[in-house]
Amino acid sequence: EAGVVQSPRYKIIEKKQPVAFWCNPISGHNTLYWYRQNLGQGPELLIRYENEEAVDDSQLPKDRFSAERLKGVDSTLKIQPAELGDSAVYLCASSLTPGSPLFFGEGSRLTVL
Amino acid sequence: GQQLNQSPQSMFIQEGEDVSMNCTSSSIFNTWLWYKQDPGEGPVLLIALYKAGELTSNGRLTAQFGITRKDSFLNISASIPSDVGIYFCAGQSGGGADGLTFGKGTHLIIQP
């Protein structure tokens, strides 16, 4: 069974440019999460979806970050415009139900110059 | 917000030694999870704990859900080189209504 798939694995952009990350969760997992992991830190939740509904986006910087999960399967996370402080690894995770364990993708490492 | 204190921050041990790390929380969790993350990879689930007092093993790994529901520990017995990595504890409250809160990780380094 395929795990959580993310792309791209690496992205280098200049500040003020836009960037987008894509995630395909484990088949049948209705709950999808986007986390951000700064160097030397644990992951921090950005947004959580139940099917296509964003049920917790309280930690998402809405002035420049947006996310969508239109058909309740794949999801995209967008940053526009990117800032230097956005350099981090963006992790996507999915779980079968809200209370079941999360399974993570390999992450998308963003470097903003 | 919820905070997890994970310790130690790093460990330098000899191959074959046992390892112990723990997490404490300022609030109660209903679920404790332990993950391992290798460089350039996403966290991989090691053990999930759902009940206070629960003791669960996965090979050489053993984890316990503290009675107070505010702490958890992970033990690794007879460490081997592939155990190197960063271990994260994570807690979840609200019956799944909230996402996971992660500790800052324990960096395990094994000297052959």
CA distance, residue B99 to nearest chain A CA (Å) = 7
HEC string for chain B = CCCEEEECCEEEEECCCCEEEEEEECCCCCEEEEEEECCCCCCEEEEEECCCCCEEEECCEEEEECCCCCEEEEEECCCCHHHCEEEEEEEECHHHCCCCEECCCEEEEEEC
pLDDT given at position B111: 84
At residue B39's C-alpha, the angle toward residues B33 and B41, to 5°, is 60
pLDDT given at position A98: 83
CB < 8 Å to A91, chain B:
42-43
pLDDT given at position B95: 60
In tens, the pLDDT along A88-102 reads 999 999 999 887 889
From the list B30, B48, B102, the residue facing A43 with the nearest CB is: B102
Q: Helix, strand, or coil here: A74?
A: coil
pLDDT given at position B96: 58
Q: Among B64, B35, B36, which residue's Cα sits nearest to residue B51?
A: B64
In tens, the pLDDT along A77-90 reads 999 999 999 999 99
CB < 8 Å to A6, chain B:
42
